[in-house]
Amino acid sequence: MLAALKSIYDMPSSVSWPHAPPHDCFEPGIYMVTCGTYLKQPRLTSRKRLAMFCSEFMASAQNHGWELQAWAVLSNHYHFIATSPAEGKQSLSTWLADLHRQTATWLNELDATPGRKVWHNYFDTPLTYQKSYFARLNYVHNNPVKHGLVDNACDYDWCSAAWFAKHTTPAFQKVIASFKTDQLNVYDDF
């Protein structure tokens, strides 16, 4: 035990300790992102709050150059798939920091809790294979069903499933629905 501790203390100071999930968004591309509230507390607990967050989320994505392809916003977390802008590297962290700062301020004003931590961290995954992309697209669209909020994802107002059903062909919808999601490695412990 002492030897193990000694080897830890002898590590060079350049070793960084993991304190958050690694953020892999270094190159332009398509990413799946999951973000949760601090301590998994439900903060988007009404239609008004969900609508406000979705509105700000979409406007903020556009302002930061991210092209949304799928999203699902629930009371204590959200998922999305989006194409990054050309500059890649820091744009995701900048975008989410701005979004979280703005929405936390608004939520804290509503709850009269100034300074309360609302958002926790996020996980990002680059999607580089078509099968991976299609499976995660199915996963995000059906996240409200997974969490028992609706029987049909198109009935949930704060996800992209209804938009997807309206704007894509039945054949493409069938292809996406055929991709299994039960073995995906997606952090969704909410």
Q: What is the pLDDT of residues 88-118, one digit of tens each?
A: 556 899 999 999 999 999 999 999 999 999 9
Position 11 scores a pLDDT of 39
- Given a contact cutoff of 8 angstroms between Cβ atoms, the answer to whether 164 and 172 are in contact is no
Number of neighbours of residue 147 by Cβ within 10 angstroms? 16
**Lowest mean pLDDT, pick from 7-21, 32-46, 136-150:** 7-21
Torsions phi, psi of 41, nearest 5? -75, 135
Single-letter amino acid, residue 84: S
**Lowest mean pLDDT, pick from 16-20, 65-69, 106-110, 182-186:** 16-20
Share of the chain above pLDDT 70, in %: 84
Secondary element (H or E) of residue 93? helix 91-111
Q: What is the largest CA-CA distance in the chain?
A: 63
- CATH class belonging to 22-177: alpha beta
Q: Record the pTM.
A: 0.83
Domain borders along the chain are: 22-177
